Amino acid sequence: MKLEHGHYCYTVMETEYYEGKGYMACVVIEDEPGYHHTGNPKKGVEPWYWGHDFEKAKAAARHVNEERGLTQEDVDRIIDSSFRAQNKLEAERNAKKKKRRSGHEAQGQEAQAQG
């Protein structure tokens, strides 16, 4: 995953709270579904934790994004693009599942007609 300046942002989410550590900083990449944890446990790199208070953790993310030259509008655009990519991915998966189910139903109906 190669990160280009301006095409990703940091965020925290209430669901990424770890007891004894705090809120984990996450990375959202423009036009990519989902998010990534900071750190790399396989290489022994601990994730970033930005405190136990959610509002302060959000302020830390905002500060880091601002240091990188991102406005809140930029951050919102990056996160929105990630949501759109995730929704598109989910829709494609659901369409494939629906197609498989309808194929199985057609086979079942065919078998009943022959039976």
Q: Which domain holds residue 46?
A: 8-114
**Tens of pLDDT, residue by residue, the chain (115 residues):** 556 656 999 999 999 999 999 999 999 999 999 999 999 888 999 999 999 999 999 999 999 999 999 999 999 999 999 999 999 988 888 888 888 877 666 666 666 666 5
Within a domain: residue 83? yes
Domain assignment present for residue 67? The answer is yes
* pLDDT of 22: 97
Give whole-number Cα distances, 80 to 3, 8, 47, 58, 75, in Å: 18, 12, 24, 17, 8
User: In the chain, how many domains are there?
Assistant: 1
Has this prediction a pTM greater than 0.85? no
Determine, yes or no, domain membership for 31.
yes
Domain contains 18: yes
